[in-house]
Amino acid sequence: MSRIYNFSAGPAVLPEEVLKEAAEEMLDYRGTGMSVMEMSHRSKAYDTIIKEAEADLRELMNIPDNYKVLFLQGGASQQFAMIPMNLMKNGVADYIVTGQWAKKAYQEACLYGKANKIASSEDQTFSYIPDCSDLPISEDADYVYICENNTIYGTKFKKLPNTKGKPLVADVSSCFLSEPVDVTQYGVIYGGVQKNIGPAGVVIVIIREDLITEDVLPGTPTMLRYKIHADNDSLYNTPPAYGIYICGKVFKWIKKMGGLQAMKERNEKKAKILYDFLDESKLFHGTVRKEDRSLMNVPFVTGNEELDAKFVKEAKAAGFENLKGHRSVGGMRASIYNAMPIEGVEKLVEFMKKFEEENL
């Protein structure tokens, strides 16, 4: 068996320890004689799994009691609709568009009400985060929406927007659990787990209780109502049971690693290795405004498409997988999520130095 360094933006690298533990428990989960995949989601064993997962996540993020934690399906993209359907009481919401995911969320919201694009960084191919300290927040906005870490472009909000009292809704798919957060600053925090937490198929929604009501847009399907899932502790129907079990293991792994502050320090250290190299390299350079750089997704280019392709190919042959940039932007992107070991980044930089010497 040999594992490569996987720089995929998602589905992405998971901690090896977690995978090993899951493998050990595959045929017989703790004396139940079955795998978690084969288990009733109403069983005692599974009840413990999902309750512990929630408790560990609450502890990690210090989630206050007036927030619900929901484990849902449909990916982050389903939330693009679920959010307006449940939250647009006045039929108005403000969107800050800092990349493709925020843009998709905005476009989806336009189907359900008056979505206002109050800021955007599209003028410079989403390479920065706009100043959000004094935006024209709509008087009757039900919420203000951001994508906190832009997976494709590699930017991150270092400071949350001033929403002037409106609830903030944030897609944190690609920065989930990468650093401490103050949950009280948000109305809704949500993310697909396949970037930084677990297998695709689970989306976690952390939502302030007062935002969960029966008053949803007419025609909202039962399955897309936050209230039904909140009232049933994410067990209204069969949840993505195995995925939640893996997420639970990752929560325990993060706790063992020292929690979110330790993750942040580790992530800063990893990202610094790569960004420092990009800043001094004569061949490679980063594509994002420095102060807005993501700790998780690091896009870079050589400025020459052919050379980019050569780099991706040679990197792959050397055991560095999935370094090709998103199809919409080209170049390269190294996603260095929580589970990417520091050696992975160090070795990548060594390889980049060697490539630079050979190709400059």
Ligand X SMILES: *Cc1c(COP(=O)(O)O)cnc(C)c1O
Is 227 an annotated catalytic residue? no
68, 156, 166, 195: the active-site residue: 195
Q: Minimum distance between the CB of residue 205 and ligand X, rounded to whole angstroms?
A: 12
Q: Is 151 in the site for ligand X (CB under 6 A)?
A: yes
Q: Is 43 in the site for ligand X (CB under 6 A)?
A: no
| Residue in 86, 121, 174, 322 binding ligand X, rule: CB under 6 A | 174
Distance CA 4, CA 318 (A): 9
Q: Is 98 in the site for ligand X (CB under 6 A)?
A: no
Q: Is 10 in the site for ligand X (CB under 6 A)?
A: yes
Total of residues contacting ligand X (CB under 6 A): 12
Q: Is 77 in the site for ligand X (CB under 6 A)?
A: yes
Q: Is 171 in the site for ligand X (CB under 6 A)?
A: yes
| Residue in 46, 101, 277, 300 binding ligand X, rule: CB under 6 A | 101
| Residue in 121, 173, 287, 294 binding ligand X, rule: CB under 6 A | 173
Residue nearest to ligand X (CB): 75
Q: Minimum distance between the CB of residue 97 and ligand X, rounded to whole angstroms?
A: 12
| Contact residues: ligand X, CB under 6 A | 10, 75-77, 101, 147, 151, 171, 173-174, 192, 195
Which residues are known to be catalytic?
Answer: 101, 171, 195
